[in-house]
Structure 1
Amino acid sequence: MTAIAQGRTRRTALMGAMCALVLGLGTTGCSEDPDAGTNGVGKLTAEQIQSKTKKAAASVDAVRLAGSVVTSGKTYKVDLRLKADGGAGSVTAEGATFHLLRVGEQLYLKADAAFWTHEDGKSDDSGTDTAAADKLDGKYVKVPTGDPSYKKFSGFTDKDLLLDGLLSLQGSVQTDGHHEQAGVRTIRITGDGGSGGTLDVSLEGEPYPLRLERAGGAGTLTFSSWGKEFALKEPAKGETVDYGQQLPTS
């Protein structure tokens, strides 16, 4: 055996020993197949992965999503739990936090008095604005279906509508390697090399979406608690206020 061949043999043996040590420590850095022991989604095309993750997301009744959404020039920080017939959680925009609750078609919004005060922070001479804000402070306010706020905010609690829009990457879809999200192995797909958004899909269990970076820097969201049931019921009468046909301008 030549010296070169002997050197190559020693290097191969050394690499094998190092991989054995790494694998013994519970990592997969030396595995020849990064999809070994997974659900196999990582071996599919990007289009197939996107299709499968959409179907997986639609097949379960509940999910939690948290992060930021940028729309119409505003950034909304959200932490919501959604299911087929409604949802609940918090939304923060421009420093103000409010809570949304939708049960069936009925939507409720709860916030402090400052949220309900007119944007200029002033009340009229009779104090009407302040009185209205005080009345609504900390109460679940029924949002009339004809009010502009209903369409604006009910979308945050519509699981199917929200996910259908969020999970569609823009442009040409491609895979972008194996990654990890919250300790779970994922396969990443991108739209137009990332400018059209990126989506991490679980390689463990069902191929649920776990993390989304929206196109154009329009926010980042994480998805969890897939299929975990939670209680959803209308607030007690003492906790609600029926303001009327139209909410005050906030």
Structure 2
Amino acid sequence: MTAFPPAARTRRAACAGMLGAALAVSLVACGGDPDAGTNGVGKLSAQEIETQARKAVDGAHAVRVAGTLVSKGGSYKLDMQLTSNGGTGSVTSKNSTFELLRIDDALYVKAPADFWRQADGEGGATAAEKLDDKYVKVPKGDPAYDQFRGFTDMTALLDGLLGLRGSLDKGDHTKVAGVRAIQITGSAGSRLDVSLKGTPYPLRLERAGDAGELRLADWNKQFALTAPSKNDTVDYGRQLPKT
């Protein structure tokens, strides 16, 4: 057996120590703290995470909600920008796609001729062409007013969607549109992803029972709500169709 001189044995021991330290660093990096560099919400309990998310929502004044919503009234595809005094965007139902614009209590619907033709039947083809791609103001007394307004009401829409029923559990660390998040789940089956970056806003909601998935983005991003011009606005003159 070859005997190494003391200096060589020292160098070998140093190299082994360096290799062990590098391996240890590598292992820490691979399996380290998943909440490192975050807002710290991921370290909280599921109930505390929901509370923080709720506080963030209550303090927000704008959001974009996009995705699919399934309710007793049917299935809807939403892409809405919402603020505290109104909203704008599009809604697609089973039979049609239409745009909504609300500024305070002034509510408008803008839809293609097929939307109006569906309401009026074949005999309403002429009126439908006149209404095509125009803003129609929805009277507050119209039965469709509350339904249309519900899609543009930030507070009501978020309050109705974000409540996770039943007991809560903390799920996996996830990513939503590239943003790190922590997921909490309700015993009824809903799942909510909460941002681990900055303010803990909700980023994604998967509703229980295949009732849709919604993405929430552009929190507090400013956007303009502008009333349509008179040239782009017409009166329908009768009860608006429900979706």
What TM-score do you get using the length of structure 2 for normalisation? 0.86
- The answer to whether the Cα contact below 8 Å between 1:35 and 1:42 also exists between their aligned partners in 2 is yes
Alignment partners' CA distance in 1, 2:26 and 2:74: 51
User: Unaligned stretches of 5+ in structure 1?
Assistant: 1-8, 24-28
Q: 1:12 to 1:93 in 2, by over 3 A?
A: farther
2:156 equivalent in structure 1: 161
2:39 equivalent in structure 1: 39
- The answer to whether the Cα contact below 8 Å between 2:144 and 2:241 also exists between their aligned partners in 1 is no
Which AA in structure 2 matches 1:169? L
Shift of 1:73: 4.9
Two-structure CA RMSD over aligned residues (Å): 2.2
2:183 equivalent in structure 1: 188
Q: 1:219 to 1:249 in 2, by over 3 A?
A: closer
Determine if the alignment matches structure 1 residue 178 to structure 2 residue 173. Answer: yes
Alignment partners' CA distance in 1, 2:239 and 2:211: 30
User: Unaligned stretches of 5+ in structure 2?
Assistant: 1-16
- The answer to whether the Cα contact below 8 Å between 1:111 and 1:139 also exists between their aligned partners in 2 is yes
2:228 equivalent in structure 1: 235
Alignment partners' CA distance in 1, 2:51 and 2:238: 42
Which AA in structure 1 matches 2:139? P
Shift of 1:13: 5.9
Deviation track 1:3-55 (CA, whole Å, cap 9, x = no partner) reads xxxxxx9x9767526447xx5xxxxx421x21111111111111111111111
- Pairing 1:37-186 to 2, within 5 Å after superposition: 37-118=37-118, 122-123=121-122, 127=123, 129-186=124-181
Aligned residues: 227
Shift of 1:178: 1.1
1:5 equivalent in structure 2: none
* Other structure's SS at 1:68 match: strand
2:199 equivalent in structure 1: 206
Which AA in structure 1 matches 2:172? G
Q: 1:248 to 1:135 in 2, by over 3 A?
A: farther
Q: 1:235 to 1:182 in 2, by over 3 A?
A: same
* Other structure's SS at 1:162 match: helix
Alignment partners' CA distance in 1, 2:23 and 2:185: 33
Determine if the alignment matches structure 1 residue 246 to structure 2 residue 239. Answer: yes
Query: Which entry has the higher C-alpha Rg, 1 or 2?
Result: 2
Alignment partners' CA distance in 2, 1:158 and 1:43: 33
1:4 equivalent in structure 2: none
Deviation track 1:191-211 (CA, whole Å, cap 9, x = no partner) reads 01xx43000000010000000
Alignment partners' CA distance in 1, 2:155 and 2:34: 32
- The answer to whether the Cα contact below 8 Å between 2:183 and 2:192 also exists between their aligned partners in 1 is yes
* Other structure's SS at 1:135 match: helix
* Other structure's SS at 1:228 match: coil
Deviation track 1:143-201 (CA, whole Å, cap 9, x = no partner) reads 11111211111111000111111110111111112111111111100001xx4300000
Alignment partners' CA distance in 2, 1:13 and 1:154: 62
1:220 equivalent in structure 2: 213
Shift of 1:131: 2.2
What TM-score do you get using the length of structure 1 for normalisation? 0.84
Q: 1:249 to 1:201 in 2, by over 3 A?
A: closer
Alignment partners' CA distance in 1, 2:20 and 2:72: 57
